[in-house]
Chain A
Amino acid sequence: MMTSSAPRHGDRPISSWRFWLPLTLQIVCVLTIPAQALYTHVSGTSVILQTAPVDPYSLLQGYYVTLRYDISQIEVLKALPGWDDIEAQVSATAANPDNLVQATPIYLVLESPESVQSGSQPNDETPTPWRPVHVYPTYPSDVLENHVVIKGVYYGSRITYGLEQYYIPEAQRDEINERIRQVQQSGDRHSYVVEIKVASQGISTPVRLWVDGKAYQF
């Protein structure tokens, strides 16, 4: 151990670039995360998603809110046109022995509400959620102007979009938790929505929570 940890081999000390090059690579790797988020933020389209009720006990785990969406529910997607293609894809995947886990990508088309199209949405109110209209097994070739495609993964029993967690500061944990609980108990589903940004190829990031007319962004 000690021989290999000796910083010099031969008579010359280790040259600096042998430290700075790896460190630069490390920094570049770390910075790809904010860069990717920034890219999604700048180039992405804002989309509002309707949340679905969650089991209150798993609402907050650690420092994030667990989010479930209407579009995470299989019944909702099953009612959409194009679901048969997904099922066909699933059986094709199941037949392929290389796939141990039955995970199928899905591309969900969301349509913007009319208030967004006409620009009549007031700024300080909870925005109206977008509506799922079609689902595809591959990225659709032509997307209408008022449509946005997001990518998800169908695991046979559940669907994920990579949007299921939203990190919140510890200080506001209890407040947010309480508001969400109240909204869910009151049955007023439309006052609890999530704003996301969707970039190219359907990659999306959660941006802010709307709970009972108040927006939280961290």
Chain B
Amino acid sequence: MVTEKFRRQLRKEATQWRSDALISSDVYHQLSERYEFDTIDSHARDRFVAILIIVGSVLLGISVITFVAANWQAIPRTIKVMLMMGVLIAVNTIGFYLWRSPRSASSSQTPLPRSQWRQRLGHGLLICGALVLGANFALMGQLFHQRGTAFGLCIIWGLGVLTMAYGLRLTSLAVIAFGLILLGYWIEFISYDAYVLAPLIRHIFDIMPLVIGVLFLPLAYWCRSRIVFGLTVIGVGFSLALTIGTLSNTVQDPFGITLAIALILPSALWWAYADDGWQHILPRFISAENGREDTDESIVFRPIARSLTIIYLGCLFYVLSFHGLWEDYSIPASASTASVADVFMALVTNINVVVIVITTLAVWLWLGWPRIGHQWRLVTTDIVVLAMLAMTGGVVIWHEAIAPLLVLGTLMFNILLFLIAAGLMREGLADGDRRQFWFGFVLLILQIISRVFEYETGLLIKSFTFLVCGIGIIVIGLWFERYVRALIPQSGQSLQAINSEENG
């Protein structure tokens, strides 16, 4: 994008060039038209006026708010309701029409045209509208002495914002809605406030992984937003893990099966995530809304889901590599009468587990099959991830059901952590992928430092470890950065990939 500073400078230089006879008048005029020299001053003036208007409006707004606040007690309840509704409608409506305002024809060239200012202001007002909606719910509850739960408030507020996000296809509103719903879920999870008061709300709580998936996954494709997709996948995985973890309480699972599944199932699902289903459903949907075919580029979110699996595994192995976790904490066998069959029944009758697993498998096999069927095979990374997940599950179950693993468990996960860190560094090197390399590198350093602090080691050894790690980071880091740069001339494409990742 051309900055205004550049245009100013260019105008100055071009005038100089013309008087020095470096360029002809024609060229000057072409430059002048292309960079709209004559609008530079008027833009600055417009911006000044815009700032004046914004500052003035903010002050006016504050004065109105203060006036209302001062008289709030004296205002009859009906007027209060109308006031609150009025603010909700006004903020959203002004926001929408400003945001939608048509772009000026020259918008592609001028740096920050007025319409873009309007759009940003409108966008800001729409976000503000989402907050006003929450204030409306809270104040209404207070005015009418209705006591709700935090979960109920967050859910209804989040749903309200979500409808607007769907309507306007706005990533920012989608993120706010997600934050609200997940916050509500978390509050409810730790407090169980509404457990009996509202059966409907309790039901929503019970099927939260499905609710998050159904509400936000289509939105991620609809907004074409990697952020929304990432959040959705994390939200579904997180709530699914908590749901399964809760099952382990209710069935009194002495085998650690539920725990193992809670730890590995979400990441396994992430790894298996396929966009294929959406690529069948979505094109029609989006082209219908656009009125033209601009959906040739298919949206691929699979790499995000896979990256999340790797990040999750790295963090999980790091946590499990502490020996304190592998002490003998298991429930004495006599305390629980549940059999393996009971545990499995609890799992396969849980609607979240059933629906999510079956959907993933169905999309993978049924919709993905025609495309990948003839060349279907597990590539090396699939096998490695599968093996890591299976080992995690196996070790956890062994530890809980058969015998506490103590040293062996600690050792296993330290090896796994080392392997994943080394693997990431190797892959990062091979692809010239900075983030992958550095993530692996940081994991490795964390592992070393954690082990040094975890076990009784002398100060001298600690100092030596820090020395080695410090030197290691500097030397390997510098070497890698040089290596990446050396890699660039060989493949221009990878440079673009790296740059675009950095910028994005």
Contacts and interface: CB of A to CB of B under 8 A. Distances in A.
Interface of A: 1, 3-5, 7-14, 18-19, 21-23, 25-27, 29-31, 33-34, 36-37, 63-64, 97-101, 103-105, 153, 162-167, 169-171, 205-207
Nearest to B175: A1
Interface stretch (B243-251, B261-269, B488-496): B243-251
A116 B142 CA distance: 30
A1 B123 CA distance: 12
Contact of A34 (B81, B92, B169, B227): B81
B119 interface: yes
Given A3-B224, A12-B291, A101-B195, A37 B145 contact: yes
**Contact residues of B: prevailing secondary structure:** helix
A29 B169 contact: no
A23 B73 contact: no
A124 B20 CA distance: 97
A130 to B, nearest CB: 19
Contacts of B123: 5
A25 B99 contact: no
B68 to A, nearest CB: 14
Range class of the B interface residue count? 35 or more
B223 A21 contact: no
A37 B92 contact: no
Nearest to B102: A13
B147 A33 contact: no
A162 B222 CA distance: 40
A207 B145 CA distance: 8
B133 A30 contact: yes
A7 B100 contact: yes
B133 A100 contact: no
Contacts of A1: 171-172, 227
A11 B146 contact: no
B147 A162 contact: yes
Given A1-B172, A167-B142, A101 B164 contact: no
Interface string B174-187: 00000000000000
A90 B93 CA distance: 51
B300 interface: no
B48 to A, nearest CB: 25
A153 B197 contact: yes
Contacts of B146: 33, 36-37, 205
Given A5-B123, A97-B250, A100-B249, A22 B164 contact: yes
23 contacts: A1-B227, A5-B119, A5-B123, A7-B99, A7-B168, A9-B290, A13-B100, A14-B100, A19-B96, A19-B168, A22-B167, A22-B168, A23-B89, A23-B164, A25-B160, A26-B163, A29-B160, A33-B137, A33-B141, A63-B142, A100-B246, A100-B249, A205-B145
Interface of B: 72-73, 81, 84-85, 88-89, 92-93, 96, 99-100, 102-103, 119, 123, 133, 136-137, 140-147, 156, 159-160, 163-164, 166-172, 192, 195-197, 223-225, 227, 246, 249-252, 289-292, 294
B293 to A, nearest CB: 10
Contacts of A5: 119, 123, 170-172
Contact of A33 (B102, B140, B171): B140
Given A1-B171, A103-B196, A98 B145 contact: no
Contact of B144 (A11, A37, A169): A37
| Residue with the greatest number of chain B CB neighbours at <10 A, chosen from A30, A104, A170 | A30
B147 A97 contact: no
Contacts of A104: 196
B196 A97 contact: no
B192 A165 contact: no
A25 B177 CA distance: 15
A181 to B, nearest CB: 22
Contacts of B88: 26-27, 30
Nearest to A14: B100
Contact of B145 (A14, A27, A166): A166
A34 B89 contact: no
B97 to A, nearest CB: 9
Contacts of B119: 5, 7
A77 B305 CA distance: 54
Contacts of A11: 291-292
Nearest to B166: A22
Nearest to A21: B167
B289 A27 contact: no
A29 B161 CA distance: 11
A121 to B, nearest CB: 23
B219 to A, nearest CB: 11
B73 to A, nearest CB: 4
B5 to A, nearest CB: 21
A25 B72 CA distance: 27
Contacts of A25: 160, 163
A98 B247 CA distance: 8
B341 to A, nearest CB: 15
B185 to A, nearest CB: 15
B32 to A, nearest CB: 29
- Minimum-distance CB pairs A-B, first 7: A37-B144, A10-B290, A97-B250, A22-B163, A33-B140, A22-B167, A169-B73
A69 to B, nearest CB: 14
Given A4-B225, A8-B103, 20 more contacts: A5-B170, A5-B171, A7-B99, A7-B119, A9-B289, A9-B290, A19-B164, A23-B164, A25-B163, A26-B88, A27-B85, A29-B137, A30-B137, A33-B137, A98-B250, A103-B192, A104-B196, A153-B196, A167-B143, A169-B73
Contacts of B99: 7
A29 B100 contact: no
A4 B224 contact: yes
A10 B81 CA distance: 39
Given A4-B171, A5-B172, A164-B147, A30 B89 contact: no
B392 to A, nearest CB: 26
A101 B156 contact: no
A47 B28 CA distance: 86
A26 to B, nearest CB: 4
Nearest to B228: A4
Contacts of B292: 10-11
B502 to A, nearest CB: 16
Contacts of A171: 73
